[in-house]
Structure 1
Amino acid sequence: MLFVFSCSSYKIKNTGPVNTGYNYISPSHKTIIDVIVGKFPGVKIIGNNTGFGNTKVLIRGGSLSINNQAYAIFDVDGIIYTEPPMFIDPQKIRSITILKSLASVNKYGNIGRGGAIIIRLKK
């Protein structure tokens, strides 16, 4: 599945480990987590949406173990974050792409074993 969000109609393509969809980002979305919740199949939010380091994102198909769960990383215009980047204004998001573990590991190495959420901002 390929999902990318931007300001157009919603569209889904089946392309394997990459999710991109096109959708309108509502002004009611206050954080990046608000934008992601319920829009991408297989994406689970753990914790609350306060932005103080206790919110994690799990992507189905990510590498899991008993001792160390692999959480998704965030790539914001080429800068990698291990926590959700709550400082981003959702209205400035151009697109969001979800990579599952194998595609993410190929691009980011071991740090991407839990998947990656690629965010591109409007210029």
Structure 2
Amino acid sequence: MATHAVSSQEFEQVITGNDLVFVDFWATWCGPCRAFGPVFEKASEAHDDIYFAKVDIDQNQDLATAAGVQAVPTLMIVKQGQVVFQQAGALRASDLDDLIAQAKALDLNAANGQDA
């Protein structure tokens, strides 16, 4: 699966309609965003069980503000409708792979103190 451009209008549906979503908040004028883009794209091709969304903050300022994005790129991970990770800064491919493995392994029931 490749990355998907996501707008403010469809963001809620994307995060509630998919079990695991990685969101790249980026901007066309951002150098680190352009460096991270191919890393994010390659990861999306290797993990078809994850929804990879790209949100252009200039076209979706309301969404970026609501998500608390203060710098780009910012990576947000949403699992079962819950934000489980958010961090600004471009990642190396190996760091993104580590995050993907951690997100897949995360048991939200255990993390929230609930029995499965």
Q: Which has the higher contact order (CA 8 A, sep 6+)?
A: 2
Q: After TM superposition, is the score higher than 0.5?
A: no
TM-score (norm. length: structure 2): 0.31
